[in-house]
Structure 1
Amino acid sequence: MTKIDIFSGFLGAGKTTLIKKLLTEAYKGEQVVLIENEFGEIGIDGGFLKEAGIEIREMNSGCICCSLVGDFGEALKEVIQKYSPDRIIIEPSGVGKLSDVIKAVQKVEGEVDIKLNSFTTVVDVTKCKMYMKNFGEFFSNQIEYAGTVILSRTDTPKATDDKVQAAVELIRSLNQTAAVITTPVEQLSGAKILDIMENNRSLEKELMEEETCPVCGGHHHDHHHHDHEHEHHHHHDHEECGCGHDHEHHHHHDHEECGCGHDHHHGHHHADEVFTSWGRETVKSFSREEIEQILNTLSTDESYGMILRAKGMVSSENGEWIYFDMVPGEADIRTGSPDYTGRLCVIGSKIDETKLAELFGI
């Protein structure tokens, strides 16, 4: 099975830099073939690729989106038959539509053993708004179809927090589910970037999977729903957790028994309380003291709702990253390596989302 990774992005967005990083840090030990289309672009240096043991197939017969039906499909099949690679990287022209490239790959899926593995779009944060205005159809398409969006130039003087956040919100207006990387890729390992591209696990999903059924110890698997402001709300219906019985999410139990002999009402969680989670992405920096104060407020001030859990990772003002994990009355705060963007998640009942946003200042 050959994995297909597609990297799109407008001219000069930083695709080449990203691919070179992945080739040296994440794809080592794999047989990799790069298919690139040089449409007025400077491709990855052939000498670099030879040193890395990478085969390269250039498509210089015009824009890749103009030759998708014939040449591209044949080129893909030829590459697989000749090299039997573990992975093929496709770097289409910056002016092509990502959806066209995906469709072109899908057309040959039945003929060769391939797997569409990831779709990543690189966006220059300083040009995002301008590109959206002037190249709406093509630019929007690259964002809409991406599984991961990487914001480049976020470490330049022009990239203020406000500008980065505005770019994230613009991207979120087109794509609710992609992982949006705002941390400069230089600060992330190639392995970390590849994991994000391939798995795109939200903080909410990780938290919900950590919460286990109090009766049997089994995990609940939640369904994710996204609203139009890129906050994430999860409402849990009756689900199986592994013990063979249907429970509602284990923070919302009736007084009745379900047949397994256990009373599923416990503590102070009542049947009319539906537990939800609130999540935000943020590029804002915090101090350790600010996080401590926020977590203390969540533990003691019931006006924010009945808080069961809070977890997150955010950048700090001194360049380090702060990781926190809180249950009422107890909080773990530590420093760690950069994550792909600042992320916050709060789980609880009757959450006041407006007040939570104000508390975190976002």
Structure 2
Amino acid sequence: MKVIVLAGFLGSGKTSVLLKLAKYIVKRDGEEGRTSVAIIENEIGEVGVDDKILRSQGLAVRELFAGCACCTGGADLLSDINTIKKEMDPKWIIVESTGVAYPLLIKENVQSYIGVDVIIIGLADAQRWRRLKNAMAHLIESQLEHADSVLLNKVDLVDEDTAEIILSEIEQINPAAKLYKTIANKTVDDSVWESVV
């Protein structure tokens, strides 16, 4: 079993990416009688809008309503991962973290206490990149600096030169990450997922 942490600021397209990624994993790894993917999402509000979207696509979702449990990989998240591991034995668990999460803490805690590999996929919003980076540089950078891969999402909403400048800035934040341009609300090419997971 492996865990994928989706990190990115609110509105960056995590739920759209999650849908595309989960469908890809089910298509690629689906086995009769075994769950390929389980999803944990953190809900700070009272009503889980994202989980309704995910459930409407036939995906099972486990919600965390414990404030910011997905921010640090707290006890609730670790307990849920253990429960899912025992009850469902999926090949993959995807954790959709909040926009204020620290993905490295989640990764370290899951690896230390659960003993499974963790992949961090960071999302950056091309359309709002400049505004968010100027207003909350530390938070935006914390979402991307330890990611294994970064998806620059919503590239259809900026020109090619702007997208390349943003990719260059992301590369300065995290030179080791694999970088991809995506339009997750439309499609993400399977070649991206093949490289990421």
Q: Which TM bucket (shorter chain)? A: 0.7 to 0.9
Which consecutive unaligned segments of at least 5 residues does structure 2 have?
Answer: none
CA RMSD between the two structures: 2.2
- Greater RCO (Cα-Cα under 8 Å, separation 6 or more): 2
1:140 partner amino acid: E
- State the alpha-carbon separation in 1 of the partners of residues 105 and 53 from structure 2: 30
The reply to whether residue 98 of structure 1 matches residue 103 of structure 2 is yes
Give the TM-score taking structure 1 as reference length: 0.48
3-state SS of 1:182 partner:
strand
- Taking a change above 3 Å as real, the CA distance of residues 48 and 182 of structure 1, as seen in their structure-2 partners, is closer
| Larger Cα-atom Rg | 1
Residue among 42, 47, 50 paired with 1:44: 50
Percent of paired sites with the same residue = 25
CA contact (8 A) 1:64 1:93 kept: no
Q: Distance in 2 between matches of 1:74 and 1:21?
A: 26
Q: Which runs of 5+ in 1 are unaligned?
A: 199-362
Deviation (angstroms), 1:182? 1.7
Residue 35 of structure 1: aligned partner: 40
Q: Structure 1 residues 60 and 67, CA, compared in 2 at 3 Å: closer, same or farther?
A: farther
4+ residue runs over 4 A deviation:
40-43
The size of the alignment, in residue pairs, is 189
Give 1 or 2: higher strand fraction.
1
Question: Are the counterparts in 2 of residues 36 and 58 from structure 1 also a CA contact under 8 Å?
Answer: yes
Structure 1 position 42, deviation (Å): 5.1
Q: 1:73 maps to which residue?
A: 78
Q: Matches of 1:6 and 1:46 in 2, distance apart?
A: 20
Distance across 1 between alignment mates of 2:99 and 2:192: 21
**1:206-265 deviation line (CA, Å, top 9, x unaligned):** xxxxxxxxxxxxxxxxxxxxxxxxxxxxxxxxxxxxxxxxxxxxxxxxxxxxxxxxxxxx
Shift of 1:67: 6.6
Mapped partners of 1:85, 1:135: distance in 2: 36
* Contact residue 42 and residue 97 of structure 2 kept, 8 A: yes
Paired position in structure 2 for 1:324: none
Contact map agreement 2:71 2:97 (CA 8 A) in 1: no
- Look up the equivalent residue of 1:142 and give its one-letter code: Q
Match of 1:144 in 2: 145
Measure how far apart 1:47 and its partner are. Answer: 6.5
Residue correspondence of structure 1 range 291-330 to structure 2 within 5 A: none
Match of 2:11 in 1: 12
Q: Which residue of 2 aligns with 1:127?
A: 128
* Residues 109, 115 of structure 1: 8 Å contact kept: no
The question of whether the paired residues in 1 share the 8 Å contact of 2:42 and 2:70 is answered with no
Question: Could you say if the C-alpha distance between residues 23 and 67 of structure 1 is closer, same or farther in structure 2, counting changes exceeding 3 Å?
Answer: closer
Q: 2:61 aligns with which of 32, 36, 56?
A: 56
SS in 2 for 1:72: helix
Q: Aligned pair in 2 of structure 1 residues 38, 161: CA closer, same or farther (>3 Å)?
A: same
Q: Deviations over 1:106-145 (max 9, x none)?
A: 22234xxx322x2111111122222222222221111111
